[in-house]
Amino acid sequence: MEARTLDGKVAIVTGAGRGIGRGMALALAREGAKVVVASRTRSTVDAVADEIRAEGGEAIGVACDVGQRDQVYACVQQAVDTYGTVHIMISNAQGFGTEAAPRASTVFMAVEDTDEDEWEYTFRTGATASLWFMKAVFPHMKAQKYGKIINFASSSGQIGFEGNTCYNATKEAIRAISRTAAREWGQHGINVNIINPALETRAFDAWKTARPDFVEALKEKIPMRRLGDPERDAGPLAVFLSGPGSDYITGSTFMLEGGMHTLP
């Protein structure tokens, strides 16, 4: 059998019960990775893990609320207990709204009206959760002198998209943390990169329902004239950034947006 790009590697993918996370989890498994499918809902992670196993891959589902530090560390420990280590860490999950009243996506809120509970929850499930996962996997990656970390940000933060204060701030914080870790951890053989997506997701579906004209206008701004597909478009990029082809790339932001923004 021909060797696959990620044979023998162990990956954790958060937010993997649906959408972008599911697409990446499937892609990594098809290239030989053993995948820890992590998300808040037990039924969805089990379904994706079953899907991977049905295709002949290896996977476990782990119910994990990324906004809870103990669950983040427990998720990483379960990966290590099951497969021995972690080679690939993909932080894709992101909460919206507040812990008491979560939402499927952001809603327009002016800077002066920013809800501080929403600020705290958005940051905790975004930048802070990404940091927790990075700290949890670091000892394992350092010991084996190998690691691939992929964090998810957004061009909304880069351009300062109006009405998106909490989301913009946490996504730019994720980029800052990632660049810092890339510079500090490169000596240990650990690559840290960022993906900024414009893909069909649950959040975009919520936007489409709430603001259909806005979403259609957004598509017109994309040179490819479509939103990306998680499996078709995100999966291959995740495989590349998880594999040997990206060994000399770190601290970089990859704009998975069909050309919508050409930002550094």
Residue 206 — very low, low, confident or very high, per pLDDT cuts 50/70/90? low
Residue numbers of the domain that contains 161: 10-242
Instruction: Compute the C-alpha angle 99/174/28, nearest 5°.
Output: 90
Q: Is residue 263 part of a domain?
A: no
Q: Is residue 256 part of a domain?
A: no
Q: Which residues are catalytic?
A: 167
pTM metric for this prediction: 0.94
Q: Is residue 248 part of a domain?
A: no
Q: Is residue 75 part of a domain?
A: yes
**Least confident window among 11-15, 129-133, 223-227:** 223-227
Each residue's pLDDT tens digit, 83-105: 999 999 999 999 999 999 999 88
Each residue's pLDDT tens digit, 210-235: 677 777 777 788 998 888 899 999 99
Q: Is residue 247 part of a domain?
A: no
Kindly give the pairing relationship between strand 34-39 and strand 96-97: unpaired
pLDDT of residue 221: 85
Q: Is residue 200 part of a domain?
A: yes
Q: Is residue 4 part of a domain?
A: no
Each residue's pLDDT tens digit, 163-202: 999 999 999 999 999 999 999 999 999 999 999 999 887 6
Rounded to 5 degrees, φ, ψ at 93 are -65, 150
Rounded to 5 degrees, φ, ψ at 140 are -70, -40
Each residue's pLDDT tens digit, 19-48: 999 999 999 999 999 999 999 999 999 999
Q: Is the pLDDT of residue 58 over 60?
A: yes
Q: Is residue 146 part of a domain?
A: yes
Where residue 192 sits, what CATH number does that domain have? 3.40.50.720
Q: How many domains does the chain contain in total?
A: 1
